[in-house]
Amino acid sequence: MNHEFNATQRPLAGKIALVTGGARGVGQEISRQLAALGAQVIITARDKAKADMVANILRNQGLQATGLQLDVTSDQDRDAVFSAISEKYGLLDILINNAGVWLDSANAATPPERPPSETSETVVRSTFESNFFAPILLTQLLLPLLRRSSAARIVNVSSIRGSLTHLSDAASPVYPIKALAYDTSKAALNAFTILLAEELRGTSIKVNAIHPGWVRTDMGSEQADLSVEEGAATAIRYATLDQNGPTGGFFYQAERLPW
C-alpha cells in the first residue's frame, strides 16, 4: 500500500542517498528513516540479496529504495556503484559511510584477549581496510557526483572510541576496553573528516563524523544502551542539515564531541 506524504513530511523528496552497510543493524535503520523522509535510498551490502530484501521491504511500505552490491573494500564493487549512480541519477545528495567492522574481540562489550602491544597485524590491517581506507576511497570516487548536488551531505559513522580525549580519560566509559584496531581506525576516520571538510569549506557540501551511541547490534552487543532506531538518529540529523548547519565536526545527537 502506498503512503501519501506532503512536502513537510518528506523533506528529502527528490534526494538520492547511499548507505553503506545498509542491510542490517544501524545501517538498515538509517536507510529506512531516510526513505521515510522521502529520499531515494540506495542500500548497499556485500550480499546483494540482503540489500535487495531490505529495499523490497521499504518499497512495500510505499518508500523508494534499491539495493546494490558493495563490499566497501572492493575496487570493482566501488567502481560499479559509481557507474550505477552516475548512469541512473547523475548525482548523489547524501553519502552515509556506515559500513565497518569490529575485529578486536567478539563485540564492543568484550575486552580483547590481547593488549594493544600484542594486537595482531591481521586484525589491524583488516580493520583499517573496512573502517578507514574503504570510506576514504569511496568518498573520493563519489565526490564528483556529490559536487553535482545543490547541498550534499557526507556523514562518516565513527565512534566515541575514536576520540583521543576519551581514550586517554580514565573517567570515560570507553577507557576500560583497549581495542587498538577499532579505536585507531575511527580516530583516523575522524582526521579524514576534518581534512575533507576543510578542503570543501565554502562549498555546499558538509562533512561530519558522528557517534551513533552504543547500539544493540551484533557489533554493539545486547548489553548496549540504545535501540537501532535511537542509534540511527544522529546520522539522520547530520544527513539532513540545512545550509546553516556545521561542517567538520564530531557529534553525538546535538552534542559536539572532543577529538
Residue 7: pLDDT above 50? no
The answer to whether 92 and 18 are in contact (CB under 8 A) is yes
Residue 5: pLDDT above 70? no
**How far is residue 161's CA from residue 190's CA, in Å, rounded to a whole number?**
11
Residue 48, all three cell numbers: 546483494
Please give the C-alpha separations between residue 105 and each of 54, 100, 101, 172, 239, in angstroms, as whole numbers. Answer: 28, 14, 11, 20, 30
pLDDT in tens, 120-154: 999 999 999 999 999 999 999 999 999 999 999 99
pLDDT computed for residue 216 by the predictor: 84
Mean pLDDT of the chain: 95
pLDDT in tens, 106-125: 999 999 999 999 999 999 99
* Secondary element (H or E) of residue 94: strand 94-97
- Residues in contact with 157: Cβ distance below 8 Å, sequence separation at least 6, in sequence order: 26, 96, 97, 98, 100, 209, 210, 212, 235
Give all domains of the chain, ordered by start, each with its CATH number.
16-256 (3.40.50.720)
* Secondary element (H or E) of residue 155: strand 153-157
Cell numbers 563519489: residue: 142
Identify how many contiguous H helices and E strands the chain contains and give both numbers: 8, 8
Determine what percent of the chain is predicted with pLDDT higher than 90.
90
Residue 62: pLDDT above 80? yes
pLDDT computed for residue 218 by the predictor: 83
Residue bearing the bigger pLDDT, 216 or 63 = 63
Residue 56: pLDDT above 90? yes
pLDDT computed for residue 224 by the predictor: 80
**How far is residue 225's CA from residue 217's CA, in Å, rounded to a whole number?**
10
At 8, the pLDDT band (50, 70, 90 cuts) reads low
**How far is residue 170's CA from residue 132's CA, in Å, rounded to a whole number?**
26
pLDDT computed for residue 219 by the predictor: 84
**How far is residue 65's CA from residue 51's CA, in Å, rounded to a whole number?**
10
Residue 222: pLDDT above 90? no
Average pLDDT over residues 160-179: 97
Average pLDDT over residues 42-53: 98
Q: What angle do CA 4, 227, 55 make, to 5 degrees?
A: 45
Taking each helix axis from N to C end, the angle separating 75-88 and 134-147, rounded to the nearest 10 degrees, works out to 20
pLDDT computed for residue 172 by the predictor: 97
pLDDT computed for residue 3 by the predictor: 39
Q: Among this protein's residues, is 252 annotated catalytic?
A: no
Q: Given 89, 175, 182, 238, which residue is catalytic?
A: 182
- DSSP for residue 257: P
* Secondary element (H or E) of residue 193: helix 180-200
